[in-house]
Amino acid sequence: MRLNPEQLVFVTERHLATLTTLRADGTPHVVPVAYTWDAGEGVVRITSRRTAVKARNARRRGADDAPARAALCQVDGGRWLTLEGTLEVAEDPDEVAEAVRRYALRYRTLEHDPQRVVLRLTPDRIMGSAYMTS
């Protein structure tokens, strides 16, 4: 999925977003997150501890064995953008290192955490304010 120029600028500005995942009972779990956008792969990366609720929710598959779904929403005044798609947990050390590297460029350097995993959101739907969807 490609973002238009306005969307691309927006997802690279230093903002937090909310990540919505679904608990086992189907209720939403919404938490603030820092994230990075990888335009080359078309994925969002969010670092997390492997025991976090969002990571547990990401591991849960649907009744038809479909991957978990999630929504990431960033808001700044009247501008907002939501990326919806499939969510998976990546534990590969190279993937974690890449996520930490990108995070440091956008936010700050993270301390080493052996429990760190990466949540990879692959969007298949974009919604946003009129300015963001042109």
Task: Name all domains of the chain by residue range, CATH numbers in brackets.
Answer: 5-133 (2.30.110.10)
With H, G, I as helix, E, B as strand and everything else as coil, classify residue 94: helix
Tell me how far apart the alpha carbons of residues 66 and 75 are, in angstroms, rounded to a whole number: 29
pLDDT digits (tens, 9 = 90+) for 90-106: 999 999 999 999 999 98
Please give the C-alpha separations between residue 57 and each of 20, 24, 81, 83, in angstroms, as whole numbers: 10, 7, 22, 17
Asked if 76 and 42 count as a contact pair (C-beta separation under 8 A), the reply is no
Tell me how far apart the alpha carbons of residues 22 and 28 are, in angstroms, rounded to a whole number: 5
Please give the C-alpha separations between residue 80 and each of 24, 74, 108, in angstroms, as whole numbers: 28, 6, 23
pLDDT digits (tens, 9 = 90+) for 22-76: 999 999 999 999 999 999 999 999 999 999 999 999 999 877 888 999 999 999 9
Tell if the pTM clears 0.85, that is, is over it: yes
Burial 16-34 (b: 16+ CB within 10 A, else e): ebebbbbeeeeeeeeeebb
